[in-house]
Amino acid sequence: MSTHDLYVHETDAPLWQIPATGNARFTWEYDDGRDRLLALYQKGKDKQWDGQRRIDWDLEVDPYDPLGTPDEALTLYGTPYWDKMNEAERAELRRHYASWQFSQFLHGEQGAMVCAARIVESVPDMDAKFYSATQTMDEARHAEIYGRFLHEKVGMLYPINDNLQSLLDDTLRDSRWDMPYLGMQVLIEGLALAAFGMIRDTTDKPLPKQILAYVMQDEARHVAFGRMALRDYYKQLTDAELREREEFVIEGCYLMRDRLKGAEVLENFGIPRAEADAYSEQSEFLQLFRKLLFSRIVPCVRDIGLWGERLQRAYVDMGVFDMGDHNLDQLMAQDEEIAEKLDAERFAAEEAERTAEVAEAIEEGKTLQ
Task: Out of 112, 224, 331, 332, name the contact with Fe ion by CB under 5 A.
Answer: 112
Does position 221 bind Fe ion by CB under 5 A? no
161: left (phi over 0), alpha (psi -120 to 50) or beta: beta
Query: Out of 118, 209, 222, 227, which residue is the one contacting Fe ion (CB under 5 A)?
Result: 222
- Determine the interface stretch with Fe ion among 103-111, 169-177, 227-235, 347-355 (rule: CB under 5 A): 103-111
Distance set, CA 55 to CA 39, 122, 233, 291 (Å): 27, 34, 38, 31
Residue 214 vs 315, nearer CB to Fe ion:
214
Kindly give, in sequence order, each residue whose CB lies less than 8 Å from that of residue 60, ignoring residues fewer than 6 positions away: none
Q: Binding of Fe ion at residue 139 (CB under 5 A)?
A: yes
Cα–Cα separations (whole angstroms), residue 87 to 82, 94, 154, 308, 336: 10, 11, 18, 50, 38
Inter-residue contact 283 to 75 (CB < 8 Å): yes
Find the distance separating the first CA and the last CA of the chain, reported in whole Å: 52
96 vs 221, which CB is nearer to Fe ion? 221
- Told to check if 303 binds Fe ion by CB under 5 A, we report no
Q: Is 335 in the site for Fe ion (CB under 5 A)?
A: no
Shortest separation between residue 150's beta carbon and Fe ion, angstroms: 15
If the CB atoms of residues 109 and 127 are measured against Fe ion, the closer one turns out to be 109
CB of 138 to Fe ion, least distance (A): 6
* Closer residue to Fe ion, CB minimum distance, 126 or 191: 191
Q: How far is the CB of 335 from Fe ion (least distance, A)?
A: 12
Q: How far is the CB of 110 from Fe ion (least distance, A)?
A: 10
Query: Which residue number, 127 or 139, has a Cβ lying nearer to Fe ion?
Result: 139
Quick one: which of 219, 246, 303, 335 contacts Fe ion (CB under 5 A)?
219
Residues 161-190 that bind Fe ion (CB under 5 A): 189
Neighbouring residues of 278: CB distance < 8 A, sequence distance ≥ 6 = none
CA distances from 4 to 156, 220, 263, 348 (A): 10, 32, 21, 40
As a residue count, the chain comes to 369
Decide: is 107 part of the binding site for Fe ion (CB under 5 A): no
# of chain residues touching Fe ion (CB under 5 A): 7
Task: Please report the sign of the dihedral spanned by the C-alpha atoms of residue 270, residue 276, residue 278, residue 279.
Answer: positive
Applying CB under 5 A, does 246 fall inside the site for Fe ion? no
Closest to Fe ion by CB, 37 vs 112, is 112
CB of 192 or CB of 311, closer to Fe ion: 192
Q: Which stretch binds Fe ion (CB under 5 A): 44-52, 217-225, 260-268, 276-284?
A: 217-225
**How does DSSP classify residue 185?**
I
Q: Which residues contact 101 (CB under 8 A, 6 or more apart)?
A: 195, 199, 262
**By the criterion CB under 5 A, which residues form the site for Fe ion?**
109, 112, 139, 142, 189, 219, 222
